[in-house]
Amino acid sequence: MSDDRNVPALPPVPKPRARTNRKLLFFLFIFFAIILFILFMQSSLSRVSAIEVEGNELMSSETIGQASQIAVGDRFFAFSSRTIAQRISSLPMVKAAVVKKHFPGVVHITVQEFPKVAFQIGTDGKKQAVLADGAVVELPAGSSIPLDMPILTGWTDGDPNKAALCKVLSEIPESALSDISEIKPDPSEPYPDKIKLYTRSQFEVYTTIAYLPEKIDNLPAYIASLQEDHITSGIIKMLEVEYHAPFEPNEESGSESNNASGQKAGNGSSSPSADPNKDGNKAGTKQPPKGTTKSSS
């Protein structure tokens, strides 16, 4: 006789929970992460190892580094790039600054300076750069910056005409100013902003700050045309006049300034009449651009 009684099934054994082990692993991970972080912060990898500066011409890298208020050895993560850029941009000669941090430890600073438009010599004899806004920056000691722009002489600090001139010079292409070596103020009653320009090609040019952008474009070609006629020096007037005086050779200096009627000007510059075509000017005399007068020095 078979035993039909059912044997009760054993209940399933629950699996041990891994919650305790997971908590332990989590705390161990946090512990070792803190240890590694402390070791990293104590190592040289968390310090500024180099500060690179580019784009600066008028200012030394040391000056920019001082303005940034960071130094090699400082904590790499203790400052933001934006904060350093704002500090450097506060310098009067800096137009913009971009700071980038490259791990490990390199801070790269790119500086954009205000463009220089001229140079001048300070009262102490040191060379200075004049910026587009009229600000003056002393060139670094031992600077190799070439004086390849006009030199301003005779100007006073705070002169509004000087600031206006700098603004105008910043808008003129460098190629148009390549022959200008010096610019001096020469105000007169009809032209308060009148200036005198000396060229490397031995000419003196009279014009005004207001006329300069319009007149300067014609100057290089006009001087070249005079040199083709073997005229190597003289005075060129680029003002609002409709006449000119031709160059004439003399026995003493090789050239003399005659007015349009043939009389010598006593001050070495011309006193032409209003209409040279009616006063017997020589045929074939080269006419300057409109509003330009030429005479000998």
The string of pLDDT tens digits covering residues 71-105 is 998 988 889 999 999 999 998 788 899 999 998 88
State whether 165 and 220 are in the same domain.
Answer: no
Average pLDDT over residues 261-274: 33
- Alpha-carbon distance of 23 to 91, in angstroms, equals 54
Read off the pLDDT of residues 108-135 as tens digits, 9 standing for 90 and up: 999 998 888 999 998 888 888 999 888 8
Last residue of a domain, one of 113, 135, 163: 113
The confidence score (pLDDT) of residue 270 equals: 36
pTM of the predicted protein model? 0.60
State whether 135 and 231 are in the same domain.
Answer: no
The confidence score (pLDDT) of residue 211 equals: 92
Reduced to 3 states, what is the DSSP secondary structure of residue 33?
Answer: helix
State whether 135 and 236 are in the same domain.
Answer: no
Residue, of 243 and 241, whose pLDDT is higher? 241
27 within some domain: no
The confidence score (pLDDT) of residue 150 equals: 94
- Binning the chain into helix, strand and coil, the percentages to the nearest 5 are 25, 25, 50
For the chain, what is the domain count? 3
Which residues have CB under 8 Å from 122's CB, separation 6+? 128, 136, 138
Read off the pLDDT of residues 22-46 as tens digits, 9 standing for 90 and up: 788 888 888 888 888 787 777 777 8
State whether 188 and 296 are in the same domain.
Answer: yes
State whether 166 and 219 are in the same domain.
Answer: no
Lowest-pLDDT choice from 80-84, 179-183, 214-218: 214-218
Q: Which domain, by its residues, includes 267? A: 184-297
